[in-house]
Structure 1
Amino acid sequence: MSESTIRWESDADGVVVLTLDDPASSANTMDDAYVTSMGATIDRLEAEKDSIRGVVLTSAKKTFFAGGNLGSLIQATPETRDQVLAQVTLVKSQLRRLETLGIPVAAAINGAALGGGLEIALACHHRVVLDDPKAKLGFPEVTLGLLPGGGGIVRSVRLLGLTTALLELLLRGQQLHPSKAMELGLVHELAGDRDELVAKARAWVLANPDAAQPWDTKGCKVPGGTPSTPSLASTLPAFPANLTKQLKGAPYPAPYAILSAAVESLQVDVDTAFTVEGRYFVDLVTGQVSTNMIQALWFDLNAINGGASRPAGPERYAAAKVGVLGAGMMGAGIAHAFAEVGVEVVLKDVSTEAAQKGKAHVEGLVGKQVSRGRMTPESADAFLARITPTGDAADLAGCDVVVEAVFEDQALKHRVLGEAEANALPDALLASNTSTLPITGLAEGVQRPADVVGMHFFSPVDKMPLVELIVGEQTSDAALARAYDVVRQIGKTPIVVRDSRGFFTSRVFGTMVLEGASLLAEGVAPMSIERAALQAGFPAGPLTLIDEVTLTLPLKIRDEAAKAGATEDHPGVAVLRALVEQGRTGKSAGKGFFDWQPEKRVWPGLAELFPTSDAVPFADAQERLLFVMAVETARCVVEKVLNSVEDANIGSIMGIGFPPLYGGVLQYIDQYPGGVAGFVARADELADAYGERFRPPAILLERAVPAGSLRVAVAS
């Protein structure tokens, strides 16, 4: 088997070490080569088992096993259902044969075992894992619209119990560190290094010749019982309702399929349970939601993080010393992000005292890490020592990157950037965290406009994974490449957009929240608007979001756009003005669409200002929030603000809360029933009923044919 992905080595004691090592890839995955190799390996084990005392399964890669082959899974369709079911059934049958060989099998888990990797490990009787922070274990399938289809549900619920498996492993896709996995009962031993790892696994198989899985042992009971156990049966009815509450009503099929497969699998024998699990898996993998989520959150995301939007010429770059201008919550968050990866940071504000307040915010974030056991006090002290608060621009000396995060005022930004340019290194990258002001205009305040780039972080910086890089008219490829590399250096995902007012994320986000205000003016009840958004998959409703960003910000953006010559206005603007005139400016003031004190509730006065009616169907309200963002994004493509589908999809999901179940804002158009043509027809209906802002632009009309694809159009 020269092309086998599994190496076979046996020793004098009769222990066979099987090493997963795909010669064609840097990681092991459940592709066709693996299935063929595992089938041949199981055949040999069965043929030679009388001379084998035990089996140790490990890996030669940095990770133990990377899981299913997403390139194959994303191609699954309802028409290929039978082939997909046959393949997943074969994978499961191989692992079932492995665990029922009649000889002990131990997994020596040397790195991450996620998805299919953990399923392979669970098919072993004993699991030893390398005690390394990078060696995470879990089932992240739900985050891609799938469920563990290789026996992961069946084995985990029998091993851990239904409630623990669902809450700690399956429904949220947690990735567990080795110590947590051992505490949970997912693994049995920890090892300090690779040699100890294999040695412990080998010692265990020699000491346990009669090993068998708990579910294959007579009289074995599932922890917590089965659905027929009275104590568990009494709590089961609450699971679907709690799941709906957790998902806020969003139509994600995977969590419900996981819950159903888990409950049903405990009501039948283990082999029938594998069949139940397989059918639910195939339902998901041939559905549109998993296709959308795999495309966006795996392929599109990996393309961006791999440098798809980075200029190819310039060499890779890493910042050594960063100056952050403005020590408010945003500036402090940016300082935290750089200090976290070992970069020296100068945090500058109008005075040292003001800068120290920003550092205090970082101290609070670090303190939480220490209190949760995720950082030692010594590491925390070293972390904080990397941040120097100051009110003196001269302290920016030696900075190779400067990021300004002051108020959205062009004159102020000109002043602080010019000051930084005069004190930092002569070729320092000059970045602005502006969310709306054109970068080309900001670059007019410095001597080196080619080194100016927009670097738009999202709040809170420590939690939000996206950074929007904005290319001004004079921004050089070298500056963009450095900015791209710096964002990757701090572990965030950079999307690249061209300069315009509002860029991509702020511009498209603004259309969604203003649409929510328009719905209010048209008679839709406030909580119906919020529910429409939540049940469409948005993380929060538009009225809540406007309150959180303040009602004055969208108005200021609109006023600035009007000064720059924009004539089109959104009907939602009048709603915001009406509330601001009554002093209701948002959450920070304690009152906007909602009264926020003592607890959040709809302001009763809204009913007087905007009486409710049933003029807008609930389904229309949902689609208006989605369509207005999609149509505006298509306009961004036409205007060359966006140059890639990947930037649009990932930017919309990670930056402005577009529902991941649709795969991002442009994927939403492609996957709409009827494709682009179906989307165009529906957009025209909405435009006729509710306004020209829904009218599809030319690029959509050009692709409105049965085989049309916006992804193909943008790429070409």
Structure 2
Amino acid sequence: MRLDKAEDGFAILTLDADGAMNVVNDDFIADMEQVTKLVAGDDAIKGVIVTSAKKTFMAGADLKQLVIGFETLTPAEAYAFSQRATGMHRAIEHSGKPWVAAINGLALGGGFELALACHHRILVDDPKALVGLPEVNVGLLPGSGGTVRLGIIAGMKTALDLLLSGRSVGPAEALKLKIVDEVVPAGTLIDAAKAWLATGPDAVKPWDVKGWVPPQKKGMTVPEDSAAYMMATGGLAKSGYNQPAPLAILNSVFQGLQLPFDKALAVEGKHFAKLLTNPVARNIIRTTFISRLAAEKGARRPEGVPKFEAKKVGVLGAGMMGAGIAFVSANAGIDVVLIDRDTVTAEKGKAYSAKVLGKLTQDQADAVLARITPTDDFALLEGCDLVVEAVFEDTEIKAETTKKAEAVLPAHAVFASNTSTLPISQLAKASLRPDQFIGLHFFSPVDRMALVEVIMGQQTSKETLAKGLDFVAQLRKTPIVVNDSRGFYTSRVFQMLIHEGAAMLAEGVPPAVIENSAKAVGMPVGPLALLDELTLDLPLKIVDQAIAEEGDKYTPPAGTAVMRRMKDEIGRSGRKSGGAFYEYPEGGKKHLWAGLGEYFPVKDGWDVEELKRRYLYAQAMETARCLEEGVLETPEDADLGAVYGWGFPTWTGGTISYIDTIGIENFVKEADRMAQLYGPRFLPSAWLREKAARSEAFYAPAEDASTKEAVPA
């Protein structure tokens, strides 16, 4: 940072840390302590303007330091860290000089806490200049006064809305909510700050005025705030029973409006310390920020391969997946040839893009649509750099499509299959160039789902892998890399969830309990509802294909018998055919089919906590098998795939982080117990037992955060 003094007495403090963004870390706090002391002791300085030399104001805390640098922190040490940052902000308020935050761009987390500690906040009128306190998204709360100051400045209702949702707001809404004081054009930001300082503002914050009374001293809570608090309390279930941050935020804001200011800060600091030393925050930050950013920056990309950029892409199949892939490709500036059996069907696929382009201007939407050429003519694939095949999940149909495409494609083109279960090495047998054949498994809906599972066939070259990852990067998606097997990784482990739910039904667990147990543990949807959306045909086809190809070596998953009975005996196979486990009344809300009790009678003896464990353990155990077999190579890919592929609970950090959090010895012991009760799907392998005997976690001990690039909140 740089402090520039001026003759008018208004100093400008410019934040300009190394790296792309300003972040809150030990170095920043030390510099701020020094500068604030200098300002307080310099009579020539009449006021301070805080701004940034970067396009953003400040991004927040360095999450890598929070996870890696503080992995072994005790609650007392975490509290001391929080209090140092809190003290830094209090020093600004006690400096005897008015401070104004000239917020020239995005200010989130610790960056906005700095602005809240200033006496006045001016935000640039730019839609990219978002402000907010999103710490709840990483399992934390603002730890240096954010909950207390926001509650006092904006009131309980606004503070709870922003803090519990983690949402950031633009200039107009920030002004309306009174969390900034002015919004001005970019060119007048510093002049506006000087103009405010020229009014001779009071350098004493309201809560530091003698006799100040907290807004809601005990017994004086206003009805509107009581209602907001009750609504927020009732809404905690939506954020997940396993997320400690929302409850801590609720308590911190409530107490912050009733206690003397510095006592309120101490309470917030204790909540922060408890969250920072809780594995939930570590799990969330490691997977959703550190691992995700590394994956998107090319952590799995082979070195020494020239950068690839797709200019023209072919998409074979204009159904929901193909249409989505065509859209994200065209939206990324790539020309797309969208092929189906006839032009009318291909046109329908293009129409999907028109439907999802609602937020763009007409000119922008027209430009995207102009890049998509719907056709039934494979000859138009000439000149394509890459083709994504997204036809029906059938080996013969895919083989025929591959041959027709490769007859036209240039020799350098990469051929990718969007298959979700069929082995890539098997599909590559139809290719003239199996070394240029790869799997790119997108998730539906493609325009909203971030993950792409990149599957290496036995002959896929490292050059092809690099090109596949470069294409995923062009689409601004998050890749994981897995090796070939039936179901690969995501489909293979996801089916453990739906089969576990079906198995519970056969055991006599009430259907509503099956669904609610999954949602209570953090799954977005219950397994029976998922099966209705998938239709029973799909998981049963996967099972039947495996039996046909592997025979007695293949063990059908636990819920297969229930699915067969529902489809073949009862005649209910999914939502498309009128419903399976659910009913879909016209004009009404879907509900569980009342006839389930006749075919699957409810029995006593089930326990919700045990059901929740079963969901988590079944998926985690299958993920461990994928690592053992080499389908997965890193725990990071496992966790990213789990969280972003099928919605494994974020609070766990993913299937492998879940095992590490429990402790591998405890996991194996508990899995043995479950295997005795429910079957061999829970049985640990010799490989996993050996890891447990060595107390060997999947994630290596944390590295020194000081040698790593900062990851802003």
**1:250 touches 1:534 (CA, 8 Å); kept in 2?**
no
Secondary structure of the structure 1 residue equivalent to 2:692: coil
**2:215 touches 2:258 (CA, 8 Å); kept in 1?**
no
The aligned amino acid for 1:584 is R
Give the CA deviation at 1:218: 8.9
Q: What RMSD in Å do the two structures reach over aligned CA positions?
A: 2.3
**1:352 touches 1:390 (CA, 8 Å); kept in 2?**
yes
Check 1:8–1:237 CA distance in 2 against 1; reply closer, same or farther (3 A cut).
closer
* Correspondence 1:390-539 to 2 at 5 A: 390-539=375-524
Q: Hey, what does 1:292 align to over in structure 2?
A: 283
Give the CA deviation at 1:328: 1.3
Q: Hey, what does 2:310 align to over in structure 1?
A: 319
Q: Hey, what does 1:17 align to over in structure 2?
A: 12
Q: Hey, what does 1:586 align to over in structure 2?
A: 574
The aligned amino acid for 2:300 is S
Q: Hey, what does 2:711 align to over in structure 1?
A: none
Give the CA deviation at 1:481: 0.6
Check 1:459–1:214 CA distance in 2 against 1; reply closer, same or farther (3 A cut).
farther
The aligned amino acid for 2:556 is D
Check 1:126–1:643 CA distance in 2 against 1; reply closer, same or farther (3 A cut).
same
Check 1:689–1:609 CA distance in 2 against 1; reply closer, same or farther (3 A cut).
same
Q: Does 1:330 align with 2:325?
A: no
**1:397 touches 1:423 (CA, 8 Å); kept in 2?**
yes
Q: Structure 1, residues 110-139: CA drift from partner, whole Å, max 9, x if none?
A: 332211111111112222334444433222
Secondary structure of the structure 2 residue equivalent to 1:642: coil
* Correspondence 1:89-488 to 2 at 5 A: 89-167=83-161, 169-193=162-186, 196-210=188-202, 213=205, 215=207, 228-232=220-224, 234-236=226-228, 238-247=230-239, 249-367=240-358, 369=359, 375-488=360-473
Structure 1, 74-83 or 655-664: larger mean CA deviation:
74-83
Q: Which residue of 656, 663, 667 maps to 2:646?
A: 656
Secondary structure of the structure 2 residue equivalent to 1:711: coil
- TM-score, normalisation: structure 2: 0.93
Q: Hey, what does 2:707 align to over in structure 1?
A: none
Check 1:292–1:531 CA distance in 2 against 1; reply closer, same or farther (3 A cut).
same
The aligned amino acid for 1:399 is C
**1:160 touches 1:223 (CA, 8 Å); kept in 2?**
no
CA distance in 2, matches of 1:286, 1:13: 46
Q: Structure 1, residues 299-345: CA drift from partner, whole Å, max 9, x if none?
A: 22222122121111212222112211111111111111112222222
**1:700 touches 1:710 (CA, 8 Å); kept in 2?**
no
**2:286 touches 2:653 (CA, 8 Å); kept in 1?**
yes
Q: Which residue of 602, 612, 616 maps to 2:602?
A: 612
Check 1:539–1:201 CA distance in 2 against 1; reply closer, same or farther (3 A cut).
same
CA distance in 2, matches of 1:390, 1:302: 37
Check 1:474–1:655 CA distance in 2 against 1; reply closer, same or farther (3 A cut).
same
CA distance in 2, matches of 1:153, 1:147: 8
Structure 1, 561-570 or 550-559: larger mean CA deviation:
561-570
Q: Hey, what does 1:372 align to over in structure 2?
A: none
CA distance in 2, matches of 1:363, 1:499: 35
CA distance in 2, matches of 1:190, 1:227: 36
CA distance in 2, matches of 1:282, 1:336: 44
Q: Does 1:7 align with 2:2?
A: yes
CA distance in 1, matches of 2:683, 2:280: 26
Q: Does 1:626 align with 2:598?
A: no
The aligned amino acid for 2:296 is N
**2:93 touches 2:203 (CA, 8 Å); kept in 1?**
no
Q: Structure 1, residues 442-470: CA drift from partner, whole Å, max 9, x if none?
A: 11222111111111011111111100000
CA distance in 2, matches of 1:699, 1:228: 61
Check 1:592–1:396 CA distance in 2 against 1; reply closer, same or farther (3 A cut).
same
CA distance in 2, matches of 1:354, 1:221: 69
Check 1:350–1:634 CA distance in 2 against 1; reply closer, same or farther (3 A cut).
same
**2:456 touches 2:481 (CA, 8 Å); kept in 1?**
yes
Q: Hey, what does 1:665 align to over in structure 2?
A: 655
Q: Does 1:573 align with 2:560?
A: yes
Q: Which residue of 618, 629, 634 maps to 1:639?
A: 629
Give the CA deviation at 1:156: 1.4
Q: How many equivalent pairs are there?
A: 696
Give the CA deviation at 1:221: 10
CA distance in 2, matches of 1:485, 1:221: 58
CA distance in 1, matches of 2:373, 2:696: 54
Q: Hey, what does 1:31 align to over in structure 2?
A: 25
Q: Structure 1, residues 78-106: CA drift from partner, whole Å, max 9, x if none?
A: 86222221221121122122134343311
Secondary structure of the structure 2 residue equivalent to 1:519: helix
CA distance in 1, matches of 2:179, 2:222: 26
Check 1:233–1:164 CA distance in 2 against 1; reply closer, same or farther (3 A cut).
closer
Give the CA deviation at 1:585: 1.2
Secondary structure of the structure 1 residue equivalent to 2:87: helix
**2:639 touches 2:653 (CA, 8 Å); kept in 1?**
yes
The aligned amino acid for 1:641 is V
CA distance in 1, matches of 2:159, 2:387: 47
Structure 1, 209-218 or 634-643: larger mean CA deviation:
209-218
**1:224 touches 1:232 (CA, 8 Å); kept in 2?**
no
Secondary structure of the structure 2 residue equivalent to 1:175: coil
Q: Hey, what does 1:684 align to over in structure 2?
A: 672
CA distance in 2, matches of 1:316, 1:28: 29
CA distance in 1, matches of 2:217, 2:318: 54
Give the CA deviation at 1:706: 6.8
**1:128 touches 1:187 (CA, 8 Å); kept in 2?**
yes
Check 1:230–1:107 CA distance in 2 against 1; reply closer, same or farther (3 A cut).
closer
Give the CA deviation at 1:522: 0.6
The aligned amino acid for 1:588 is K
CA distance in 1, matches of 2:692, 2:216: 54
Give the CA deviation at 1:202: 2.8
Check 1:450–1:499 CA distance in 2 against 1; reply closer, same or farther (3 A cut).
same
Structure 1, 440-449 or 174-183: larger mean CA deviation:
174-183
Check 1:280–1:410 CA distance in 2 against 1; reply closer, same or farther (3 A cut).
same
CA distance in 2, matches of 1:223, 1:359: 56
Give the CA deviation at 1:268: 1.8
Give the CA deviation at 1:26: 4.0
Secondary structure of the structure 2 residue equivalent to 1:529: helix
